[in-house]
Chain A
Amino acid sequence: DTTVKQNPRYKLARVGKPVNLICSQTMNHDTMYWYQKKPNQAPKLLLFYYDKILNREADTFEKFQSSRPNNSFCSLYIGSAGLEYSAMYLCASSRDRGNQDTQYFGPGTRLLVL
């Protein structure tokens, strides 16, 4: 089973409120990623976990937090949502961290902030 699951699929949030998105995989993959995709733009890496080590991109460092309580689950947390957070959030996982490893993606969570 190469399925990556994401919950919820759609999320409506109010400006200033927190948002928590969940991702899970049962492939025992070491690495899990979060991407943000806006219309007509490329998916952009926000952060990733290699095992228990969190790596966050410099330009989104303060905007997103994450936790990985176990190998299967990874969350993406927005403390105070702004309009600019409206996007599709894609979770992915890969077996290892080598650049040849295939990343398996979930279907995404579409977040709309009003």
Chain B
Amino acid sequence: GDSVTQTEGLVTLTKGLPVMLNCTYQTTYSPFLFWYVQHLNEAPKLLLKSSTDNKRTEHQGFYATLHKSSSSFHLQKSSVQLSDSALYFCALSEMSNYNVLYFGSGTKLTVEP
């Protein structure tokens, strides 16, 4: 069945450093990948989404490229800020009738001064 794997549960970085949060997926259908971000006590919000192979998608300084050859959709940022501290979820939707999301377990990013 469909699944998403996020290998890092916790990432702690100093402000200004680059970050990459890993996301790999498994599906037999054509994938649509999402990154959601959830700040403390807030609702998860869409950060990025893509279904186009090898095309970089950017938003709010974050970027990700869907690589179907390696089933990956890693999230990156060149310089993290304190406000980037949050929980990041990778999610997969397959090309089917319904918009069902399969989530990874999430990566908690903490940015320190």
Interface size class of B (residues with CB under 8 A): 20 to 34
Contact B43 A105 (CB under 8 A): yes
> Could you tell me the distance between the alpha carbons of A40 and B6 in the complex, rounded to whole angstroms?
11
> Which chain B residue shows the least CB distance to A31?
B99
Enumerate chain B residues within 8 angstroms of A102, measured Cβ to Cβ.
Answer: 34, 46, 49
> Which 10 pairs show the lowest CB-CB distances between chains A and B?
A99-B93, A42-B103, A105-B44, A105-B43, A107-B43, A42-B105, A43-B103, A99-B32, A97-B98, A102-B46
Q: Which residues of B contact A (CB under 8 A)?
A: 4, 9, 32, 34, 36, 41-46, 49, 51, 89, 93-106
Count A-side interface residues using an 8 Å CB cutoff. Answer: 28
| Beyond A48-B98, A105-B36, 4 extra complex contacts between A and B, CB < 8 Å | A31-B98, A43-B103, A99-B95, A100-B32
Contact A100 B51 (CB under 8 A): yes
